[in-house]
């Protein structure tokens, strides 16, 4: 188990390093930050001065390694637009995004897992068909459009929920739904498939032969085994979700990291964008790493093997 964790951790670090390098290179290659920083009316001398001031004239690898070294110390440079350290900007904005991500994944799990279980208990029943419909439709629903529909329905027409901001828990309801529904189809399908497979296994028959009630068979014996792959998926989805928070936060004007990313990209605020890409990647890497460890711990065959 320890060996597995160490090996997995090594892989995570290597992935993180590669991601940071690729995203740095991408942005390095795709434009001249000095020119955009100097603005439309700047002269060539201005641009050159800025290039020297920020060290953009150095070779890419040198710039990358100095950026990485700083990043490892928690220094992501200064935001071009806010004129504040990117690190403190992130620390502030990430709170909203983390909260939103947690709400989103909880919403997805709390709806998709029970639906998947019900669908598996009665394959081809009305519930199963409803779940299938929901998963097919859910995958096709553009999140930004879904968010706007909710605003039209619940904020404009019914006036039940506020359309933007983060002041109260009510502000989080629609963003949670919009962020969470995207993960539902995959989680539902995996739960349903896993339950169907487990329910036809021999040990479920053994549990019934012992005289276990259907509820006990479903939850203690079947779900416990079927849920293991769902844990991994939820972690992956959580990682994707934080990436997707950019859409949700821009629709509902939640001032989180996603919103910051949108603003910063629009304003060519390179240090902030680079830091955000790295941070979102790190979230994904950490979540999948934790999920793999949790998985190994949940599955006795891996824990004791």
Q: Which of 138, 101, 102 is closest to 243 using CA atoms?
A: 101
**305 belongs to the binding site for another protein (CB under 8 A):** yes
Crossing angle between the packed helical segments 86-121 and 126-140, to the nearest 10 degrees = 150
Instruction: Give yes or no for a contact between 235 and 276, defined as CB atoms under 8 angstroms apart.
Output: no
Q: Which of 175, 239, 256, 271 binds another protein (CB under 8 A)?
A: 239
Q: Considering only residues 265 through 284, tell me which ones interact with another protein, judged by CB under 8 A.
A: 265-266, 268, 273, 276-277, 280-281, 284
Which residue stretch of 2-10, 68-76, 172-180, 246-254 sits at the interface with another protein (rule: CB under 8 A)? 246-254
**Contact assessment for residue 69 and residue 229, using Cβ atoms and an 8 Å cutoff:** no
Nearer residue to another protein within complex by CB, 61 or 133: 133
Examine residue 71 and tell whether it contacts another protein (CB under 8 A).
no
The CA distance from 262 to 27, in Å, is 15
Query: Degrees (nearest 5) of the Cα angle 165, 171, 177?
Result: 120
Does position 206 bind another protein by CB under 8 A?
yes
- Beta carbon nearer to another protein, 39 or 169: 39
262 binds another protein (CB under 8 A): yes
Query: Rule CB under 8 A: is residue 224 a binding residue for another protein?
Result: yes
Residue closer to another protein by CB (options 45, 180) is: 180
Q: Terminal CA-to-CA distance of the chain, rounded, Å?
A: 7
H or E element, residue 200: none
Helix (H) or strand (E) holding 127: helix 126-140
Nearer to another protein by Cβ, of 23 and 63: the residue is: 23
Which stretch, 44-52, 85-93, 101-109, 213-221, contacts another protein (CB under 8 A)? 213-221
Contacting residue, 11, 68, 196, 290, with another protein by CB under 8 A? 11
The length of the chain in residues reads 305
Does residue 259 interact with another protein by CB under 8 A? no
Question: What is the secondary structure of 48-115 as a DSSP string?
Answer: HHHHHHHTTTS-HHHHHHHHHHHHHTT---B-TTT-SBHHHHHHHHHHHHHHHHHHHHHHHHHHHHHH
Binding mask 16-45 for another protein (x = CB under 8 A): x-xx--xx--xx--xx----x---------
What is the footprint of another protein within residues 123-142 (CB under 8 A)?
136-137, 139-142
């Amino acid at each position: 188990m320890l060996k597995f964790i160490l090996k997995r951790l090594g892989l995570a670090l290597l992935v993180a390093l590669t991601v940071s390098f690729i995203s740095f290179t991408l942005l390095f290659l795709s434009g001249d930050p000095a020119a955009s920083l100097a603005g439309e009316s700047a002269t060539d001398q201005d641009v050159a001065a800025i290039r020297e001031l920020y060290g953009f004239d150095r070779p890419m690898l040198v710039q990358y390694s100095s950026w990485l070294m700083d990043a490892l110390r928690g220094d992501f440079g200064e935001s071009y637009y806010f004129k504040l350290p990117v690190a403190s900007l992130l620390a502030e904005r990430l709170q909203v995004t983390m909260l939103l991500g947690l709400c989103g994944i909880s919403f997805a799990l709390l709806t998709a897992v029970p639906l998947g279980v019900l669908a598996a208990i009665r394959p081809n029943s009305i519930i199963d068909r409803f779940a299938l419909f929901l998963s097919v439709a859910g995958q096709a629903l553009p999140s930004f459009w879904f968010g706007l529909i909710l605003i039209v329905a619940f904020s404009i027409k019914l006036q039940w929920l506020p359309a933007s901001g983060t002041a109260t828990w009510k502000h989080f309801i629609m963003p949670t739904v919009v962020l969470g529904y995207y993960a539902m189809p995959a989680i539902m399908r995996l739960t349903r498939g896993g339950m169907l497979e487990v329910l036809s296994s021999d040990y479920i028959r053994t549990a019934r032969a012992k005289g276990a009630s259907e509820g006990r068979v479903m939850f203690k014996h079947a779900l416990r085994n079927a849920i293991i792959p769902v844990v991994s998926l939820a972690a992956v989805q959580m990682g994707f979700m934080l990436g997707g928070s950019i859409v949700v936060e821009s629709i509902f004007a939640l001032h989180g990291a996603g919103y910051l990313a949108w603003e910063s990209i629009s304003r060519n605020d390179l240090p902030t964008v680079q830091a955000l890409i790295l941070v979102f990647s790190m979230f994904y890497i950490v979540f999948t790493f934790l999920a793999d460890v949790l998985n190994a711990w949940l599955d006795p065959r891996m824990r004791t093997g």
